[in-house]
Structure 1
């Protein structure tokens, strides 16, 4: 169990409380036992006084016997030698003399000193010292205590369910149900979070529909415009319009690509693939021949999402070609690090700056909208891979730690 969890802390609290209450009950039991024992000694102290009064002549023999009868005490002639060999229960002090108390066969016997005649007085109404009701109280307390702990533990279970559902939601699963019929605070939180999830789901669906409609509506006039330009004569106006439609088409394509990746929170389906196969697919997306991209890739396999990693390769290769001095990219695999290398000037800002959307390395480059590295970094984070950048001897290297 997680030692930082609330249930663990509640368990520790109940354990400490249980130990403390058990110790208190033990003290109460001992105190109650001693109290009953003191009352019992008081009872036999009166009997000892009757003996002393008879011995000193204050009471007659008849009065003495009558007093003993009131206390259900009877003078018996049991074997005194055998009796005194038994363990002594207690001693009753009366005057300067001591009266010994013994227990035998469920009865108590009070043996008087020899100076008083060495009488053996049998208590005919002997009752055991019984304080076991304290343990019944303790048992009832333990039952209530455990019932309370189990009740709290059961009421905490929906919190664990809520945690699991929130984790699923964080991983991109929108089809979760957090509605609760309970009436406690956890149920209220679950219901409020369920409302928030439904609202977010509705907003995301609206966004998806909105972006897809926009891209669909944009593609139609862009396509018509580009077709219409083919019928125009060559002129500066045609070049400007061609450039405008090209930028609009690129922007629409980038928006669609981002939407495809982020709409469902980019669920990663990892399987074993050769890096050469991913490179071939990326080259096809760029309309390049695979052999035109230099590399030292071997036949090792890695656990990746084929389609998403193909986009990573495509964007990094495309960036390398666009921004390199010789329009060439070299892929170098060293251990579990894959570097996309190209000649060019060192980046002006840290890598974190370029992994933000709509940030470009070259503001004058019209063919880019600054979304390539943003998409690359997003996909790699979903793979739990890291992207780093270095520049040595005029070689820019974007490295993926696989």
Structure 2
């Protein structure tokens, strides 16, 4: 544990506080012992002097004196057996002890009862007086109780604080992993509402967002490579043809398509890597499809339109991009290289001949799924972009295969 860490500071603070508490405890215990000794001496010393005065004057305790002791709450006894039972009991504690010349004065305690013990050398006399009204305040018990409660409270507070702060150490390790572009953050899921837990949850959200941004950049680059291939190929082909007005016009269209693609890539990047809400308006389906066909530079025999001209509340560029990808996939993975676009109520359907998808549709919503599966019939990258656009536009994509026909349907979410 480093000296400049929060956990180290917390531990040192706890240890110092514990030491100060222990010192305070020892001081208070010492004071309590002195106060108790003073109280015992103050209460029992006068009684002991009274007994000694009586004994030295009369050489014994007279009955009137014994009765007087009873009246003030002391039972007088010179019984050897009783005295021996008290003296040699292992549970008997010596609470106070003094010597007055040849006389031993002790205050004994057994099972909460207090006794005055007096003995002269050479066994001239040995006396005990039982205090029948003992009210000795033992401040040590209260001090120990308070100290124990404080110690338990401190330990509980330390452990609780330590447990709440400890995730910061884990977050530090995860930040180091994040610097190495390891965005798979585990162990930050918590239902606690303290600040550290909230920080852990926000950190996980940030890591997830960085992961999405990284993936979006990868998709962006892959999409550039994928989409530029067609106009570049056509451009190369046109350069080998004779220069006439018709071929020049086609070459101009190629460059126009390249410019459109660049604008399209900007829209893709904004959609996938930004949380901003893009602008929507009402557009007709026919205009969106025509724009998508122009971008793909399709021939008339490659596409068949049988749809009603629905009015859609969407972002024109992004919906065009989604439609373009669905058309492109349908043609690319169809034996006859044709696609049919039609409507079923409010649903927009893209149909093409071909084998059914090998995996569940949701698998193709993952970026690079097609590349990972090495499957020619996979619709991976295109469907990932389509899914992202439709999801942000309050639409969803459904799939069905029947009688050798693939159907991809754009459906409004409220109708799902």
TM-score by length of 2: 0.44
TM-score by length of 1: 0.45
